[in-house]
Amino acid sequence: MNITGNKILITGGATGIGLGLTERFIQEGNTVIICGRRESVLKEVTDKYPSVISKVCDLSVEADRLALYDWVADNHSDLNVLVNNAGIQQWMAITDPDFFERAQVEITTNVIAPIHLTSLFINLKSLTTVINVTSGLSFVPLTKAPVYSGTKAFFHSFTLSLQYLLKSNNIEVIEMIPPALNTDLGGKGLHDSAPPVSAFIEAVFQQMKEGKTELTFGFSEMMAKASQEDLKQAFNRLNPVQVP
């Protein structure tokens, strides 16, 4: 991917990894559009970076996804990069009374929304690149976040298919695979001991400049290259045996 001179939509671009991408893509000379559910959080970013364009939308709602696409097609038909970054992570047990309802929201946000957006945005004639944000947990589940881990395994697999399928449309598909990073994902405090987003952004921009389409860092680099035995060991480290 040529990392300058693009018009880029970053879902969830106002916080965490999305904000890191927004800031770096601006620095590199791109126009950035961000979306998310919380207007006040989007406004903090557009106040700080007046060139950023924002749109409130709840990607778990089909009508909002369609409205977002129509708005971009009408107002930013030169958009050429879609970054499917927005996601949620819920730590829960299958025995929780609200397990199924929460699982449905997580699957809708992390899976249905990006596959729907991708199917819409490839209709833009200008589209050259799709960047999907998966996870180190795509390769090995964290059982405390059982549905989240499953959504990321799905999204990883889907991204591999997209890389193959969209070649004939001349659309490059990049998989960005973060390890645990210090963001508010899953709620404040859960990821406090993880590395900062800035180190990850530095690493993945270097890899994009080198033309890589699988962008990894630390734990996710290990998981993307792991043998079956490595994956078993990683599973055991992430999910210590519970003593009854």
Encoded tokens for 19: 């904000």
Residue whose structure tokens are 């249905």:
112
Q: At what angle do helices 197-209 and 16-27 cross, to 10 degrees?
A: 50
Q: Which of 49, 69, 148, 164 is catalytic?
A: 148
Q: Which CB, 29 or 196, lies closer to ligand NAP?
A: 196
Is the CB of residue 41 less than 8 Å from the CB of residue 15?
A: yes
CB of 40 to ligand NAP, least distance (A): 9
**Cα–Cα distance between 98 and 67 in angstroms, integer?**
30
164 classed as catalytic: no
Phi, psi of 176 (to 5 degrees): -100, 120
CB of 86 to ligand NAP, least distance (A): 3
**Cα–Cα distance between 32 and 7 in angstroms, integer?**
6
CB of 80 to ligand NAP, least distance (A): 21
Burial environment of residue 216 by CB neighbours within 10 A (0 to 12, 13 to 18, 19 or more): buried
- Chain residues that interact with ligand NAP, rule: CB under 6 A: 11-12, 14-18, 36-38, 41, 57-60, 85-89, 109, 133, 135, 178, 180-181, 183-185, 191, 194
CB of 216 to ligand NAP, least distance (A): 11
Encoded tokens for 21: 């991408």
Q: Which CB, 9 or 181, lies closer to ligand NAP?
A: 181
Q: Which CB, 135 or 216, lies closer to ligand NAP?
A: 135
Query: For the CA atoms of 75, 80, 85, 87, what is the dihedral angle to 10 degrees?
Result: 50
Q: Which CB, 127 or 181, lies closer to ligand NAP?
A: 181
Strand, coil or helix: what is 130? Answer: strand
Q: Looking at the annotation, which residues are catalytic?
A: 148
